[in-house]
Amino acid sequence: MLFEELDISDELLDALDDMHITTCTPIQEKAIPLALQGRDLIAVAQTGTGKTAAYLLPVIDLITYGDYPQDAINCIVMAPTRELAQQIDRQMEGFGYYMPVSSIAVYGGGTGEEFGRQQRGLKNGADIVIATPGRLLAHLAGGAVDLSKVSFFILDEADRMLDMGFYDDIMQIVRHLPKERQTLMFSATMPPKIKKLARDILTDPAEVKIAVSRPAEKIEQSVAQCGEGQKPALMEHLLKTLRSQRVIVFASSKLKVKDLARTLRRRHIRVGEMHSDLEQKQRDEVMLDFKANRIDVLVATDIVARGIDIEDISMVVNYDVPRCAEDYVHRIGRTARANAGGIAVTLVSPADRSRFARIESFLKTTLNRLTLPETIASATPAAQPASRPAKAANNSPRRKSKPSQHKKATESPAETSARPTDTTPATPVNENSPKPRKPSGKRRYRRKPRPENPA
């Protein structure tokens, strides 16, 4: 379907034409008409299918031609990470170029001065606020945000937000919203917790589900079965023999990201790392260096798997097996974009073999198994401690000893961080105030008659 066949305004069609976008994706074709009708919506489609346009286009149109307050927040768009919030904000600038709709992106990681500028921007009012949960709650606590007139509440990558532990934050924000509103929820997967959230915040929602597509045919997928302790050496081998530039390596935790990045640096590999402990300025610098080829290998958590558009990735390595087939597709989908080729390798330890078997079952294929180099295959995995020598037999009576008073219970770092902190929230990259859009008068399409108050 072409966008001009949808009931959207001429100004939006002009903006899409400038961006060389003419044809709807399946999620856009099904979701936009329902959103324009005012229906609550739950839409399931994988990353990269055009979900952002599926909710921004109808909301921009409705706000422009509807009877909504001029100096109030009319729409809240929630995003799990600051990177995704930035990307949504950039797309908002493009889609709303010819529309009198203002917007502001609010996400964390900045200075106190930037927080103050965000507060002033929110008090001045913005039609659309793109925010991460933690930073929006911080502004709510400071009294800078009035959500009593919000008409549209949108959750993007809802499953990712719940995985990051934001359920309570989302429900706290919902309590500040009016009951009479339109809620749109977009997610890449539909686990039980997403269904529960939908029951809690949506009213008689329409459902749109686009099946997860298989990875691009031009991706050369393979598997390396190895011990956990053999992974660092195998990673170095892959970089030397397959691809050494424009590589993304996905690890399951920020601790593994840091350890692997440190190991690769010792091998004189130009490596960057991306995880939630980095400040916003550091994240921006890493991404800029990677895009400018000043970094060859980017080691990251799943923060880069969704919503980040990086071109020309030659290889993706799953240092840890993704938890589900959808995440696998999202990760390796970073390569072989724009009809190019690419390589995807997954390192599978014995503990992860059953999980990866489920991924292969979803893919309906058995992936090629790589043969480990002899030097790695014969090495004792570092993660497996050497067994202790057996004690000599001793038939003498065992003497009881008093417990040491100095021994203290310890707690692992993983146990102290059960709930992740908000890795998102600050202001747009270049400014922290609402960006007004003014119609330019440019017109290439004849405007359709519109009612004064569209449903």
CA atoms within 13 A on the CB side of 225: 11
The two three-digit tokens of residue 455, written as one number: 């449903």
- Give the sign of the dihedral formed by CA 168, CA 173, CA 177, CA 183: negative
pTM over 0.85: no
Q: Under a CB-based contact definition with an 8 Å cutoff, are residues 336 and 218 in contact?
A: yes
| Residue extents of the structural domains in the chain | 3-209, 227-377
User: Residue 118's closest CA among 135, 94, 97?
Assistant: 135
CATH number of 3-209: 3.40.50.300
Q: Does domain 227-377 have CATH number 3.40.50.300?
A: yes
Q: Under a CB-based contact definition with an 8 Å cutoff, are residues 46 and 329 in contact?
A: yes
Q: Under a CB-based contact definition with an 8 Å cutoff, are residues 191 and 450 in contact?
A: no
Q: What is the DSSP code string of 67-115?
A: ---TTS--EEEE-SSHHHHHHHHHHHHHHTTTS---EEEE-SSS-HHHH
Please give the chain's pLDDT, 455 residues, in tens. 899 999 999 999 999 999 999 999 899 999 999 999 999 999 988 776 789 999 999 999 999 998 888 888 999 999 998 888 988 999 999 999 999 999 999 988 766 777 887 888 788 778 999 999 999 999 998 887 889 999 999 999 898 898 888 999 999 999 999 999 999 999 887 888 888 999 999 999 999 988 766 787 889 999 999 999 999 999 999 999 998 899 999 998 999 999 999 999 999 999 999 887 888 788 889 988 998 999 999 999 887 766 566 778 999 999 999 988 878 888 888 887 766 789 999 999 999 999 999 999 988 899 999 999 988 887 655 444 443 444 444 444 444 444 444 444 444 444 444 444 444 444 444 445 566 555 555 555 555 555 555 54
User: Residue 349's closest CA among 221, 230, 222, 241?
Assistant: 230
